């Protein structure tokens, strides 16, 4: 039954489509989503149906890189050219044929973080049912003579709670088996992220990615103010069954929790980048680590999908309002 107090549902919740005009983001179509409970986010049709922005109770929760919105037309897959169009945003999907550092495998150069994040959705639509907004998108990572993978994405935004769920299914539509790599590059930014922020990652083991990260292993869960010429640090976390990572800032009394099945998404990377204007915390579940396709293959840990098969993943994002909700999340 419709609410007798409102003329149109968009007074409180819904989806509106907008298009950017001018600059490197010219032509990008965006779905502006709000649930009427304080959560709003933007889905980018031209960028894998990723979530470009996320806010809660009027406060920004995500990181937006200095390059801003960039159309896939500017994508550069050579060396570190990926960074020229790395908007980051709240969610940047990495994959599907490769994730992480550029590498050479099967005689082909696989670019930084793959190409799916710079690929427009072929088809996208939304509907409202069962007290939730459902956004569906289809994104193709297919090439002649090579892999043929298709990403079926559903973003579910609750109208009752400040939660959203990302459900992905990767399907092999080719005639040969293919690696399928996926990393949810979730990026936290100011004001949720500051030196006052508290990080909660109840992992069973923390492994520094390199010697640079190892130097500050004892402070992996501490945030510092923006630093000049800061060198990024990465930490790999192990979980048993349930994966969870959360952050809370008492200055704004808001937080966020990320939950996932650690048996399916069996890698979790914490990316600390405390630089000036490059101030971001990455909380990144995935089915691989970010050292590149060739390294994953060398370790014998690549996820392989046979022709006609598919594999599914799910990540849940919950907003936290106040110290009480944060304390309850820490006890779980």
Mean pLDDT of the chain: 96
Q: Judge whether 13 lies within some domain.
A: yes
For residue 3, being part of any structural domain is answered with no
pLDDT for position 299: 96
Domain residues for the domain of 80 are 9-331
Q: Report yes or no on 2 lying in a domain.
A: no
pLDDT value at residue 173:
97
> What is the pLDDT confidence band of residue 241, given thresholds at 50, 70 and 90?
confident
Whether residue 262 is contained in a domain is answered as yes
Distance CA 247, CA 274 (A): 15
**Quick one: what percent of the chain has pLDDT higher than 90?**
95
**pLDDT at residue 332 in the model:** 63
110 part of a folded domain: yes
Number of domains in the chain: 1
- Whichever domain contains 227, its CATH number is 2.70.98.10
Asked whether residue 303 is assigned to any structural domain, the reply reads yes
pLDDT of residue 266: 97
What was the pLDDT predicted at 329?
81
For 21-35, how does the pLDDT look when each residue is reduced to its tens digit (9 = 90+)?
999 999 999 999 999
- pLDDT tens per residue, range 33-72: 999 999 999 999 999 999 999 999 999 999 999 999 999 9
**In the numeric block, which tokens belong to residue 182?**
């996926």
- Specify whether the CB–CB gap between 155 and 121 falls below 8 A: no
* Residue 1 within a domain: no
pLDDT band at 3 (very low <50, low <70, confident <90, very high): confident
Residue 331 confidence class, pLDDT cut points 50, 70, 90: low
pLDDT tens readout for residues 180-194: 999 999 999 999 999
Q: Is residue 96 part of a domain?
A: yes
pLDDT at 52: 98
């Amino acid at each position: 039954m419709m609410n007798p107090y409102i003329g149109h549902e968009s007074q409180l919740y819904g989806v509106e489509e907008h298009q950017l005009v001018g600059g490197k983001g010219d032509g990008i179509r965006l779905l502006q989503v709000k649930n009427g409970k304080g959560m709003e986010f933007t889905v980018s049709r031209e960028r894998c149906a990723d979530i470009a922005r996320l806010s809660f109770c009027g406060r920004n929760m995500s990181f937006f890189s200095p390059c801003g919105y960039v159309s896939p037309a500017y994508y550069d897959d050579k060396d570190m050219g990926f960074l020229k169009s790395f908007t980051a945003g709240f969610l940047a999907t990495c994959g599907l044929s490769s994730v992480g550092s550029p590498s050479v495998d099967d005689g082909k150069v696989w670019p930084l973080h793959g190409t799916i994040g710079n690929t427009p959705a072929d088809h996208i639509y939304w509907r409202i049912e069962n007290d939730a907004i459902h956004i569906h998108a289809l994104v193709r990572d297919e090439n002649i003579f090579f892999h043929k993978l298709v990403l079926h994405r559903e973003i579910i935004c609750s109208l009752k709670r400040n939660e959203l769920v990302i459900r992905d299914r990767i399907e092999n539509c080719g005639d040969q088996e293919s690696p399928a790599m996926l990393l949810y590059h979730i990026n936290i930014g100011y004001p949720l992220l500051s030196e006052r922020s508290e990080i909660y990652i109840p992992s069973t083991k923390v492994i520094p990615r390199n010697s640079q990260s190892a130097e500050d292993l004892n402070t992996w869960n501490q945030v510092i103010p923006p630093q000049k010429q800061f060198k990024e640090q990465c930490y790999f976390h192990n979980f048993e069954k349930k994966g969870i990572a959360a952050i809370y800032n008492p200055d704004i009394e808001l937080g966020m929790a990320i939950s996932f099945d650690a048996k399916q998404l069996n890698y979790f990377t914490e990316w600390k980048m405390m630089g000036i204007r490059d101030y971001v915390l990455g909380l990144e579940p995935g089915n691989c680590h970010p050292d590149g396709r060739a390294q994953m293959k060398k370790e014998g840990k690549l996820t392989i999908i046979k022709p006609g098969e598919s594999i599914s993943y799910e990540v849940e994002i919950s907003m936290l309002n106040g110290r009480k909700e944060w304390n309850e999340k820490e006890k779980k």
